[in-house]
Protein backbone atom coordinates (compact mmCIF):
# COMPACT_ATOMS: atom_id res chain seq x y z
CA UNK A 1 0.00 0.00 0.00
CA UNK A 2 2.87 2.34 0.92
CA UNK A 3 4.69 1.58 -2.33
CA UNK A 4 1.53 2.43 -4.29
CA UNK A 5 1.35 5.81 -2.58
CA UNK A 6 5.00 6.45 -3.44
CA UNK A 7 4.39 5.61 -7.09
CA UNK A 8 1.36 7.92 -7.20
CA UNK A 9 3.31 10.75 -5.55
CA UNK A 10 6.20 10.30 -7.98
CA UNK A 11 3.81 10.35 -10.95
CA UNK A 12 2.10 13.53 -9.67
CA UNK A 13 5.47 15.25 -9.21
CA UNK A 14 6.62 14.21 -12.67
CA UNK A 15 3.35 15.45 -14.18
CA UNK A 16 3.77 18.85 -12.48
CA UNK A 17 7.34 19.19 -13.75
CA UNK A 18 6.29 18.35 -17.33
CA UNK A 19 3.36 20.79 -17.17
CA UNK A 20 5.57 23.59 -15.83
CA UNK A 21 8.23 22.93 -18.47
CA UNK A 22 5.63 23.00 -21.26
CA UNK A 23 4.08 26.15 -19.81
CA UNK A 24 7.41 27.98 -20.00
CA UNK A 25 8.50 26.41 -23.28
CA UNK A 26 5.32 27.48 -25.09
CA UNK A 27 5.59 31.02 -23.75
CA UNK A 28 2.35 31.01 -21.78
CA UNK A 29 4.18 32.44 -18.79
CA UNK A 30 4.50 35.68 -20.79
CA UNK A 31 0.82 35.94 -21.65
CA UNK A 32 -1.19 38.52 -19.75
CA UNK A 33 -4.41 36.55 -19.79
CA UNK A 34 -5.15 32.87 -19.32
CA UNK A 35 -8.18 31.75 -21.33
CA UNK A 36 -10.72 29.37 -19.90
CA UNK A 37 -10.96 26.89 -22.77
CA UNK A 38 -13.35 23.98 -23.06
CA UNK A 39 -12.32 20.34 -23.13
CA UNK A 40 -12.88 18.59 -26.46
CA UNK A 41 -16.40 17.22 -26.16
CA UNK A 42 -18.65 15.87 -28.93
CA UNK A 43 -20.93 18.64 -30.17
CA UNK A 44 -24.69 18.03 -30.06
CA UNK A 45 -26.11 19.54 -33.22
CA UNK A 46 -29.31 20.90 -34.63
CA UNK A 47 -32.79 20.40 -33.26
CA UNK A 48 -31.70 17.12 -31.63
CA UNK A 49 -29.80 19.04 -28.96
CA UNK A 50 -32.90 20.96 -27.93
CA UNK A 51 -35.31 18.03 -28.06
CA UNK A 52 -33.23 15.41 -26.27
CA UNK A 53 -31.68 17.65 -23.65
CA UNK A 54 -28.20 16.19 -24.22
CA UNK A 55 -26.62 19.48 -23.23
CA UNK A 56 -25.45 19.92 -19.62
CA UNK A 57 -28.45 19.26 -17.35
CA UNK A 58 -30.76 20.80 -19.96
CA UNK A 59 -34.42 19.86 -20.08
CA UNK A 60 -35.93 19.06 -23.49
CA UNK A 61 -36.42 22.24 -25.51
CA UNK A 62 -34.72 24.28 -22.77
CA UNK A 63 -31.88 26.77 -23.42
CA UNK A 64 -31.87 28.09 -19.85
CA UNK A 65 -28.72 26.28 -18.65
CA UNK A 66 -26.51 27.86 -21.30
CA UNK A 67 -28.26 31.24 -20.96
CA UNK A 68 -27.81 31.35 -17.17
CA UNK A 69 -24.13 30.40 -17.46
CA UNK A 70 -23.30 32.96 -20.15
CA UNK A 71 -25.36 36.02 -19.19
CA UNK A 72 -23.10 37.16 -16.28
CA UNK A 73 -20.04 37.05 -18.59
CA UNK A 74 -21.53 39.43 -21.20
CA UNK A 75 -21.31 43.15 -20.37
CA UNK A 76 -22.90 46.34 -21.59
CA UNK A 77 -20.42 48.83 -23.13
CA UNK A 78 -21.24 52.53 -23.38
CA UNK A 79 -18.85 54.87 -25.13
CA UNK A 80 -18.55 58.64 -25.34
CA UNK A 81 -16.89 60.19 -28.34
CA UNK A 82 -16.40 63.56 -29.95
CA UNK A 83 -17.01 63.83 -33.66
CA UNK A 84 -16.48 66.79 -35.91
CA UNK A 85 -19.14 67.99 -38.34
CA UNK A 86 -18.00 70.19 -41.17
CA UNK A 87 -20.73 72.65 -42.09
CA UNK A 88 -21.44 73.54 -45.70
CA UNK A 89 -19.50 76.65 -46.62
CA UNK A 90 -21.62 79.48 -48.04
CA UNK A 91 -20.25 80.74 -51.38
CA UNK A 92 -18.51 84.15 -51.15
CA UNK A 93 -21.12 85.79 -53.36
CA UNK A 94 -23.85 85.17 -50.73
CA UNK A 95 -21.92 86.08 -47.55
CA UNK A 96 -22.60 89.80 -47.97
CA UNK A 97 -26.34 89.12 -47.83
CA UNK A 98 -26.57 86.29 -45.29
CA UNK A 99 -23.52 86.91 -43.06
CA UNK A 100 -22.93 84.70 -40.04
CA UNK A 101 -26.49 83.40 -39.98
CA UNK A 102 -25.63 81.06 -42.86
CA UNK A 103 -22.00 80.47 -42.04
CA UNK A 104 -20.45 83.90 -42.49
CA UNK A 105 -16.73 83.95 -41.81
CA UNK A 106 -16.97 80.60 -40.09
CA UNK A 107 -18.70 78.77 -42.92
CA UNK A 108 -17.16 75.38 -43.60
CA UNK A 109 -15.29 75.27 -40.30
CA UNK A 110 -15.64 72.11 -38.21
CA UNK A 111 -18.07 71.97 -35.31
CA UNK A 112 -17.38 69.49 -32.48
CA UNK A 113 -20.27 67.30 -31.33
CA UNK A 114 -20.24 64.85 -28.46
CA UNK A 115 -22.20 61.64 -28.82
CA UNK A 116 -22.73 58.30 -27.15
CA UNK A 117 -22.93 54.77 -28.46
CA UNK A 118 -23.78 51.38 -27.02
CA UNK A 119 -22.52 47.85 -27.57
CA UNK A 120 -21.64 44.61 -25.81
CA UNK A 121 -18.53 42.77 -24.67
CA UNK A 122 -17.49 39.37 -23.31
CA UNK A 123 -15.32 38.80 -20.24
CA UNK A 124 -12.49 36.41 -21.20
CA UNK A 125 -10.49 36.45 -17.95
CA UNK A 126 -11.25 36.82 -14.26
CA UNK A 127 -8.89 39.79 -13.94
CA UNK A 128 -10.95 42.04 -16.20
CA UNK A 129 -9.99 41.51 -19.85
CA UNK A 130 -12.97 41.89 -22.19
CA UNK A 131 -13.22 41.24 -25.92
CA UNK A 132 -15.57 43.28 -28.09
CA UNK A 133 -15.78 44.70 -31.62
CA UNK A 134 -13.35 47.31 -32.85
CA UNK A 135 -16.24 49.42 -34.13
CA UNK A 136 -17.75 49.52 -30.62
CA UNK A 137 -14.75 51.31 -29.05
CA UNK A 138 -13.16 52.93 -32.09
CA UNK A 139 -12.46 56.66 -31.56
CA UNK A 140 -14.05 56.53 -28.08
CA UNK A 141 -12.95 59.17 -25.57
CA UNK A 142 -14.41 57.20 -22.65
CA UNK A 143 -15.45 53.56 -22.32
CA UNK A 144 -17.81 52.44 -19.56
CA UNK A 145 -18.50 48.78 -18.77
CA UNK A 146 -21.67 47.80 -16.91
CA UNK A 147 -22.00 44.30 -15.47
CA UNK A 148 -25.23 42.35 -15.13
CA UNK A 149 -25.12 43.05 -11.37
CA UNK A 150 -25.21 46.82 -12.19
CA UNK A 151 -21.58 47.45 -11.22
CA UNK A 152 -19.94 50.04 -13.48
CA UNK A 153 -16.27 50.40 -14.40
CA UNK A 154 -14.20 52.72 -16.54
CA UNK A 155 -12.36 50.65 -19.14
CA UNK A 156 -9.06 51.11 -20.94
CA UNK A 157 -8.63 50.05 -24.57
CA UNK A 158 -5.72 47.58 -24.66
CA UNK A 159 -5.63 47.00 -28.40
CA UNK A 160 -7.75 46.97 -31.54
CA UNK A 161 -7.67 45.13 -34.86
CA UNK A 162 -9.86 46.66 -37.60
CA UNK A 163 -9.00 43.81 -39.99
CA UNK A 164 -11.02 41.36 -37.90
CA UNK A 165 -13.19 44.01 -36.17
CA UNK A 166 -11.98 42.88 -32.74
CA UNK A 167 -10.74 44.79 -29.70
CA UNK A 168 -9.62 44.02 -26.15
CA UNK A 169 -10.43 46.35 -23.25
CA UNK A 170 -9.59 46.09 -19.54
CA UNK A 171 -11.38 46.98 -16.30
CA UNK A 172 -9.70 47.03 -12.91
CA UNK A 173 -11.55 44.22 -11.18
CA UNK A 174 -10.88 40.66 -10.00
CA UNK A 175 -12.82 37.42 -9.66
CA UNK A 176 -15.10 38.31 -12.55
CA UNK A 177 -17.19 35.58 -14.23
CA UNK A 178 -15.21 34.59 -17.35
CA UNK A 179 -16.71 32.77 -20.31
CA UNK A 180 -15.42 29.39 -21.50
CA UNK A 181 -14.00 29.47 -25.03
CA UNK A 182 -15.34 26.74 -27.29
CA UNK A 183 -14.37 25.41 -30.71
CA UNK A 184 -15.85 27.20 -33.73
CA UNK A 185 -14.38 24.57 -36.07
CA UNK A 186 -16.61 21.95 -34.44
CA UNK A 187 -19.79 23.91 -35.23
CA UNK A 188 -22.14 22.15 -37.61
CA UNK A 189 -24.70 23.67 -39.94
CA UNK A 190 -28.07 23.53 -38.23
CA UNK A 191 -26.57 23.50 -34.73
CA UNK A 192 -28.42 25.56 -32.14
CA UNK A 193 -26.66 28.72 -30.88
CA UNK A 194 -27.60 31.58 -28.56
CA UNK A 195 -26.80 35.28 -29.07
CA UNK A 196 -26.31 37.21 -25.82
CA UNK A 197 -25.93 40.98 -25.67
CA UNK A 198 -27.52 44.37 -25.11
CA UNK A 199 -29.48 45.21 -28.29
CA UNK A 200 -31.14 48.60 -28.75
CA UNK A 201 -29.73 49.74 -25.37
CA UNK A 202 -31.94 47.19 -23.57
CA UNK A 203 -30.93 45.05 -20.61
CA UNK A 204 -29.19 41.71 -21.17
CA UNK A 205 -31.04 39.81 -23.91
CA UNK A 206 -30.80 36.20 -25.12
CA UNK A 207 -32.02 35.01 -28.53
CA UNK A 208 -31.77 31.60 -30.16
CA UNK A 209 -31.18 30.38 -33.70
CA UNK A 210 -29.14 27.93 -35.72
CA UNK A 211 -25.84 28.10 -37.58
CA UNK A 212 -26.89 29.01 -41.12
CA UNK A 213 -23.44 29.08 -42.74
CA UNK A 214 -19.72 29.19 -41.92
CA UNK A 215 -16.80 31.01 -43.52
CA UNK A 216 -19.12 33.69 -44.84
CA UNK A 217 -17.67 36.85 -46.40
CA UNK A 218 -20.08 39.79 -46.68
CA UNK A 219 -17.69 42.56 -47.75
CA UNK A 220 -18.37 44.87 -44.81
CA UNK A 221 -14.77 44.97 -43.54
CA UNK A 222 -13.44 45.27 -47.09
CA UNK A 223 -15.74 48.24 -47.60
CA UNK A 224 -14.36 49.93 -44.48
CA UNK A 225 -10.79 49.25 -45.64
CA UNK A 226 -11.44 50.84 -49.03
CA UNK A 227 -12.69 53.98 -47.31
CA UNK A 228 -9.25 54.37 -45.71
CA UNK A 229 -7.83 54.83 -49.23
CA UNK A 230 -4.56 53.06 -48.43
CA UNK A 231 -3.31 50.93 -51.34
CA UNK A 232 -0.86 49.11 -49.05
CA UNK A 233 -3.49 48.17 -46.47
CA UNK A 234 -3.85 44.51 -45.53
CA UNK A 235 -6.93 42.61 -46.65
CA UNK A 236 -9.49 42.17 -43.84
CA UNK A 237 -10.34 38.65 -42.68
CA UNK A 238 -14.01 37.88 -43.18
CA UNK A 239 -14.98 34.30 -42.34
CA UNK A 240 -18.14 34.93 -40.34
CA UNK A 241 -20.42 32.42 -38.69
CA UNK A 242 -23.89 33.17 -40.08
CA UNK A 243 -26.85 32.63 -37.76
CA UNK A 244 -30.55 33.39 -37.73
CA UNK A 245 -30.55 34.24 -34.01
CA UNK A 246 -32.03 37.74 -33.73
CA UNK A 247 -29.22 40.33 -33.57
CA UNK A 248 -29.76 44.10 -33.55
CA UNK A 249 -27.63 47.25 -33.06
CA UNK A 250 -26.12 46.99 -29.58
CA UNK A 251 -25.47 43.25 -29.93
CA UNK A 252 -22.09 44.12 -31.49
CA UNK A 253 -19.32 42.61 -29.38
CA UNK A 254 -21.69 40.21 -27.63
CA UNK A 255 -21.43 36.44 -27.35
CA UNK A 256 -22.52 33.71 -29.72
CA UNK A 257 -22.50 30.48 -27.71
CA UNK A 258 -23.33 26.80 -28.19
CA UNK A 259 -25.74 24.89 -25.93
CA UNK A 260 -22.91 24.08 -23.50
CA UNK A 261 -22.53 27.82 -22.87
CA UNK A 262 -19.15 27.98 -24.66
CA UNK A 263 -18.18 31.01 -26.72
CA UNK A 264 -18.07 30.18 -30.43
CA UNK A 265 -18.15 33.70 -31.87
CA UNK A 266 -18.34 37.45 -31.29
CA UNK A 267 -21.44 39.00 -32.87
CA UNK A 268 -20.39 41.73 -35.30
CA UNK A 269 -22.84 42.52 -38.09
CA UNK A 270 -26.30 41.99 -39.53
CA UNK A 271 -27.62 41.69 -43.08
CA UNK A 272 -30.27 44.36 -43.25
CA UNK A 273 -31.60 47.06 -45.55
CA UNK A 274 -33.05 48.98 -42.59
CA UNK A 275 -30.30 48.69 -39.97
CA UNK A 276 -32.37 46.30 -37.87
CA UNK A 277 -32.68 42.51 -37.76
CA UNK A 278 -33.89 41.09 -41.06
CA UNK A 279 -33.04 37.43 -40.68
CA UNK A 280 -29.28 36.93 -40.47
CA UNK A 281 -26.45 37.94 -38.19
CA UNK A 282 -22.70 37.38 -38.47
CA UNK A 283 -20.12 36.55 -35.82
CA UNK A 284 -16.31 36.40 -35.81
CA UNK A 285 -15.38 32.76 -35.06
CA UNK A 286 -13.74 32.14 -31.68
CA UNK A 287 -10.71 30.57 -33.42
CA UNK A 288 -9.83 34.07 -34.63
CA UNK A 289 -10.91 35.71 -31.38
CA UNK A 290 -8.43 33.62 -29.37
CA UNK A 291 -5.52 34.37 -31.67
CA UNK A 292 -6.17 38.08 -32.10
CA UNK A 293 -6.83 38.76 -28.42
CA UNK A 294 -3.76 36.75 -27.36
CA UNK A 295 -1.61 38.76 -29.81
CA UNK A 296 -2.98 42.08 -28.61
CA UNK A 297 -2.25 41.15 -25.01
CA UNK A 298 1.17 39.58 -25.53
CA UNK A 299 2.66 41.69 -28.32
CA UNK A 300 0.51 44.82 -28.40
CA UNK A 301 -0.45 44.21 -32.04
CA UNK A 302 -1.66 41.35 -34.21
CA UNK A 303 1.08 39.14 -35.65
CA UNK A 304 0.05 38.28 -39.19
CA UNK A 305 1.53 35.56 -41.34
CA UNK A 306 1.61 36.03 -45.10
CA UNK A 307 1.42 33.28 -47.70
CA UNK A 308 2.75 35.47 -50.50
CA UNK A 309 0.31 34.86 -53.35
CA UNK A 310 -2.39 36.71 -55.26
CA UNK A 311 -5.36 34.32 -54.93
CA UNK A 312 -8.42 33.90 -57.15
CA UNK A 313 -11.38 31.89 -55.87
CA UNK A 314 -12.31 29.23 -58.40
CA UNK A 315 -15.69 28.38 -59.86
CA UNK A 316 -16.55 26.60 -63.10
CA UNK A 317 -16.32 29.83 -65.14
CA UNK A 318 -12.96 30.91 -63.73
CA UNK A 319 -11.60 27.35 -64.02
CA UNK A 320 -12.46 27.33 -67.72
CA UNK A 321 -10.85 30.74 -68.24
CA UNK A 322 -7.65 29.65 -66.47
CA UNK A 323 -7.58 26.25 -68.13
CA UNK A 324 -7.31 24.26 -64.89
CA UNK A 325 -8.63 20.76 -64.32
CA UNK A 326 -10.38 21.42 -60.99
CA UNK A 327 -13.42 23.61 -60.40
CA UNK A 328 -12.98 24.35 -56.66
CA UNK A 329 -10.08 25.79 -54.73
CA UNK A 330 -7.78 28.82 -54.85
CA UNK A 331 -6.00 29.61 -58.10
CA UNK A 332 -2.52 31.10 -57.66
CA UNK A 333 -2.53 34.08 -60.01
CA UNK A 334 0.80 35.50 -58.82
CA UNK A 335 3.56 34.34 -56.50
CA UNK A 336 5.19 37.19 -54.57
CA UNK A 337 8.93 37.41 -55.11
CA UNK A 338 10.90 36.20 -52.06
CA UNK A 339 7.65 35.35 -50.31
CA UNK A 340 6.69 32.26 -48.32
CA UNK A 341 4.94 30.51 -51.23
CA UNK A 342 7.86 31.03 -53.60
CA UNK A 343 10.33 29.70 -51.04
CA UNK A 344 8.17 26.58 -50.59
CA UNK A 345 7.97 25.93 -54.33
CA UNK A 346 4.48 27.10 -55.28
CA UNK A 347 4.06 28.45 -58.81
CA UNK A 348 1.67 30.58 -60.83
CA UNK A 349 -1.14 28.38 -62.11
CA UNK A 350 -1.19 26.07 -59.09
CA UNK A 351 -4.57 25.43 -57.47
CA UNK A 352 -4.63 25.17 -53.68
CA UNK A 353 -7.25 22.53 -52.91
CA UNK A 354 -6.49 21.91 -49.22
CA UNK A 355 -4.85 23.71 -46.33
CA UNK A 356 -3.97 21.86 -43.14
CA UNK A 357 -5.97 18.95 -44.54
CA UNK A 358 -9.16 21.01 -44.90
CA UNK A 359 -10.69 21.24 -48.39
CA UNK A 360 -10.70 24.88 -49.53
CA UNK A 361 -13.91 26.26 -51.02
CA UNK A 362 -13.37 30.01 -50.61
CA UNK A 363 -10.82 32.76 -50.26
CA UNK A 364 -12.42 33.72 -46.92
CA UNK A 365 -11.81 30.21 -45.56
CA UNK A 366 -8.14 30.34 -46.59
CA UNK A 367 -7.63 33.76 -44.99
CA UNK A 368 -9.17 32.53 -41.74
CA UNK A 369 -6.82 29.52 -41.57
CA UNK A 370 -3.79 31.74 -42.20
CA UNK A 371 -5.17 34.43 -39.90
CA UNK A 372 -4.88 32.06 -36.91
CA UNK A 373 -1.11 31.76 -37.41
CA UNK A 374 1.93 33.95 -36.90
CA UNK A 375 5.10 34.58 -38.91
CA UNK A 376 7.35 31.52 -38.70
CA UNK A 377 4.43 29.09 -38.36
CA UNK A 378 4.27 26.36 -41.01
CA UNK A 379 1.12 25.30 -42.85
CA UNK A 380 0.62 22.27 -45.07
CA UNK A 381 -0.71 23.34 -48.46
CA UNK A 382 -2.08 20.75 -50.90
CA UNK A 383 -1.75 21.90 -54.50
CA UNK A 384 -3.21 20.52 -57.71
CA UNK A 385 -0.55 21.04 -60.39
CA UNK A 386 -1.39 19.79 -63.88
CA UNK A 387 -3.90 17.30 -62.49
CA UNK A 388 -1.64 15.88 -59.76
CA UNK A 389 -1.89 16.74 -56.07
CA UNK A 390 1.24 17.59 -54.09
CA UNK A 391 1.80 18.71 -50.49
CA UNK A 392 4.00 21.71 -49.70
CA UNK A 393 5.19 22.89 -46.29
CA UNK A 394 4.93 26.69 -46.33
CA UNK A 395 6.58 28.70 -43.57
CA UNK A 396 4.65 31.99 -43.26
CA UNK A 397 6.50 35.31 -43.40
CA UNK A 398 5.79 38.69 -41.81
CA UNK A 399 4.92 41.69 -43.96
CA UNK A 400 8.62 42.57 -44.24
CA UNK A 401 9.45 39.15 -45.67
CA UNK A 402 11.01 37.77 -42.48
CA UNK A 403 9.92 35.22 -39.91
CA UNK A 404 10.30 37.39 -36.80
CA UNK A 405 7.60 38.90 -34.63
CA UNK A 406 7.09 42.58 -35.50
CA UNK A 407 7.14 44.69 -32.35
CA UNK A 408 4.36 47.11 -31.57
CA UNK A 409 6.58 50.17 -32.06
CA UNK A 410 7.42 49.06 -35.59
CA UNK A 411 3.83 48.19 -36.47
CA UNK A 412 2.28 51.34 -35.00
CA UNK A 413 4.67 53.71 -36.78
CA UNK A 414 2.56 53.51 -39.94
CA UNK A 415 -0.82 53.24 -38.20
CA UNK A 416 -0.11 56.25 -35.96
CA UNK A 417 -0.17 58.54 -38.98
CA UNK A 418 -3.50 57.11 -40.12
CA UNK A 419 -5.18 58.31 -36.91
CA UNK A 420 -4.95 61.85 -38.28
CA UNK A 421 -7.53 60.80 -40.86
CA UNK A 422 -5.89 62.61 -43.75
CA UNK A 423 -4.02 61.97 -46.98
CA UNK A 424 -0.61 63.65 -47.29
CA UNK A 425 1.77 64.48 -50.12
CA UNK A 426 5.36 65.72 -49.98
CA UNK A 427 6.37 69.01 -51.59
CA UNK A 428 8.81 68.87 -54.45
CA UNK A 429 12.05 70.85 -54.17
CA UNK A 430 10.71 73.38 -56.68
CA UNK A 431 7.42 73.84 -54.77
CA UNK A 432 9.30 74.32 -51.49
CA UNK A 433 11.60 76.90 -53.09
CA UNK A 434 8.66 78.89 -54.47
CA UNK A 435 7.16 79.03 -50.95
CA UNK A 436 10.47 80.00 -49.38
CA UNK A 437 10.77 76.89 -47.19
CA UNK A 438 13.17 73.94 -47.20
CA UNK A 439 10.42 71.34 -47.41
CA UNK A 440 7.07 70.24 -46.06
CA UNK A 441 4.10 67.90 -46.23
CA UNK A 442 0.80 69.06 -47.70
CA UNK A 443 -2.57 67.96 -46.32
CA UNK A 444 -4.15 66.68 -49.53
CA UNK A 445 -7.52 65.63 -48.09
CA UNK A 446 -9.15 65.28 -44.67
CA UNK A 447 -11.46 62.43 -43.67
CA UNK A 448 -13.15 61.80 -40.30
CA UNK A 449 -10.00 61.65 -38.14
CA UNK A 450 -8.08 63.73 -35.63
CA UNK A 451 -7.36 66.54 -38.09
CA UNK A 452 -11.09 66.84 -38.70
CA UNK A 453 -11.43 67.86 -35.05
CA UNK A 454 -9.27 70.96 -35.63
CA UNK A 455 -9.43 74.04 -37.87
CA UNK A 456 -6.83 72.57 -40.25
CA UNK A 457 -8.02 72.88 -43.84
CA UNK A 458 -7.03 70.95 -46.93
CA UNK A 459 -3.95 72.46 -48.57
CA UNK A 460 -2.24 73.22 -45.26
CA UNK A 461 1.54 72.64 -45.48
CA UNK A 462 3.15 71.17 -42.36
CA UNK A 463 6.73 72.35 -41.85
CA UNK A 464 7.14 71.44 -38.17
CA UNK A 465 5.53 69.02 -35.74
CA UNK A 466 6.28 69.10 -32.01
CA UNK A 467 9.26 71.34 -32.73
CA UNK A 468 10.87 69.01 -35.29
CA UNK A 469 11.24 69.75 -39.00
CA UNK A 470 8.90 67.90 -41.34
CA UNK A 471 10.08 67.38 -44.93
CA UNK A 472 8.65 63.94 -45.69
CA UNK A 473 5.70 61.82 -44.60
CA UNK A 474 8.24 59.54 -42.87
CA UNK A 475 9.30 62.50 -40.71
CA UNK A 476 5.68 63.11 -39.69
CA UNK A 477 5.13 59.38 -39.14
CA UNK A 478 8.16 59.13 -36.83
CA UNK A 479 7.01 62.14 -34.80
CA UNK A 480 3.49 60.73 -34.51
CA UNK A 481 4.69 57.33 -33.32
CA UNK A 482 6.73 59.03 -30.57
CA UNK A 483 3.71 60.85 -29.11
CA UNK A 484 2.83 59.25 -25.78
CA UNK A 485 -0.62 58.68 -24.34
CA UNK A 486 -2.10 61.91 -23.05
CA UNK A 487 0.21 64.10 -25.13
CA UNK A 488 -0.78 66.16 -28.14
CA UNK A 489 0.67 67.16 -31.49
CA UNK A 490 1.54 70.77 -32.33
CA UNK A 491 1.61 71.44 -36.06
CA UNK A 492 3.24 74.55 -37.53
CA UNK A 493 2.80 75.42 -41.16
CA UNK A 494 1.34 77.66 -43.81
CA UNK A 495 -1.15 77.87 -46.63
CA UNK A 496 0.07 78.38 -50.22
CA UNK A 497 -1.62 81.79 -50.60
CA UNK A 498 -0.35 83.19 -47.30
CA UNK A 499 3.08 83.93 -45.83
CA UNK A 500 1.69 83.74 -42.29
CA UNK A 501 2.53 80.75 -40.09
CA UNK A 502 -0.37 78.90 -38.47
CA UNK A 503 -0.28 76.84 -35.26
CA UNK A 504 -2.68 73.95 -34.67
CA UNK A 505 -2.95 71.72 -31.59
CA UNK A 506 -4.11 68.21 -32.54
CA UNK A 507 -5.57 65.95 -29.79
CA UNK A 508 -3.90 62.57 -30.45
* Predicted local distance difference test score (pLDDT) of residue 290: 95
The verdict on whether 391 is a catalytic residue reads no
Instruction: Give the pairing type, strands 142-146 and 74-86.
Output: antiparallel
The dihedrals phi and psi of 21, each to the nearest 5 degrees, come to -65, -45
Selected catalytic residue, list 165, 183, 350, 475: 165
Using alpha carbons, list the distances in angstroms from residue 218 to 108, 240, 273, 278: 36, 8, 14, 15
What is the model's pLDDT at position 449? 76
- Helix and strand counts by DSSP (H, E) for the chain: 13, 25
Task: List all residues 6 or more positions away from 460 whose beta carbon is below 8 Å from its beta carbon.
Answer: 442, 443, 491, 493, 494, 495, 502, 504
Active site residue 252: yes
Equal fold, 180-298 vs 412-506: no
Q: Which candidate in 135, 350, 362, 418 is catalytic?
A: 135
CATH architecture of 412-506: Roll (2.30)
Residue 56: the pLDDT is 45
Q: Is 165 a catalytic residue?
A: yes
At the second CATH level, the architecture of 309-395 is: Roll (2.30)
Per residue in 325-376, pLDDT (tens digit) is 888 999 999 999 989 999 999 999 999 999 999 999 889 899 999 999 999 9
Nearest to 350 by CA among 310, 314, 379, 383: 383
* Phi and psi torsions of 52, nearest 5°: -95, -20
Instruction: Domain 180-298: give its CATH code.
Output: 2.40.10.10
Catalytic residue among 38, 120, 184, 252: 252
Quick one: pLDDT at residue 201? 85
The answer to whether the CB of 331 falls within 8 A of the CB of 348 is no
DSSP 397: B
pLDDT tens profile 477-491:
888 877 776 677 899
> What's the CA gap between 300 and 302, in Å, rounded?
7
Residue 388: the pLDDT is: 92
User: How many Å apart are CA 266 and CA 283, to the nearest integer?
Assistant: 5
- Residue ranges per domain, the chain? 1-30, 180-298, 309-395, 412-506
Rounded CA-CA distance 508/495 in Å is 22
- Residue 111: the pLDDT is 57
Single pTM value for the model: 0.71
How far apart, in whole angstroms, are the C-alpha atoms of residue 341 and residue 429? 41
Distance between CA atoms of residues 505 and 203, nearest Å: 40
Q: Give the torsion through C-alpha atoms of 496, 501, 505, 508, to 10 deg.
A: 50
What is the distance between the alpha carbons of residues 88 and 109, in angstroms, rounded to a whole number?
8
* Residues with pLDDT less than 70, the chain: 1-34, 39-61, 83-113, 222-234, 407-416, 485-486, 508
Predicted confidence at residue 51, as pLDDT, reads 34
Amino acid sequence: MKSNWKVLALMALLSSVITLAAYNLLGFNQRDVIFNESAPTPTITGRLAALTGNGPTAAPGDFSTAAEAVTPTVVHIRTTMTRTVRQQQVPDIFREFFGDEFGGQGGGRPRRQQGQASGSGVIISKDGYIVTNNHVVQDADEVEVIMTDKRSFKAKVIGTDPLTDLAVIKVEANNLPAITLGDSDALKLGEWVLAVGYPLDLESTVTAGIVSAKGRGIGILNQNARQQNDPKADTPIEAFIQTDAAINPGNSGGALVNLRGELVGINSAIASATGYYSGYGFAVPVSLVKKVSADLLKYGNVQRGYLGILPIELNSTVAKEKGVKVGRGIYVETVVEKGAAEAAGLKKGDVIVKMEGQPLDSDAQMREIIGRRRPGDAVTVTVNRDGTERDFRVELRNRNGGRDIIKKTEATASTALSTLGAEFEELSAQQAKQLGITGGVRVKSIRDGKLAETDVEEGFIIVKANGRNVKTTKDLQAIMSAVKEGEGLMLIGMYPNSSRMYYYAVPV
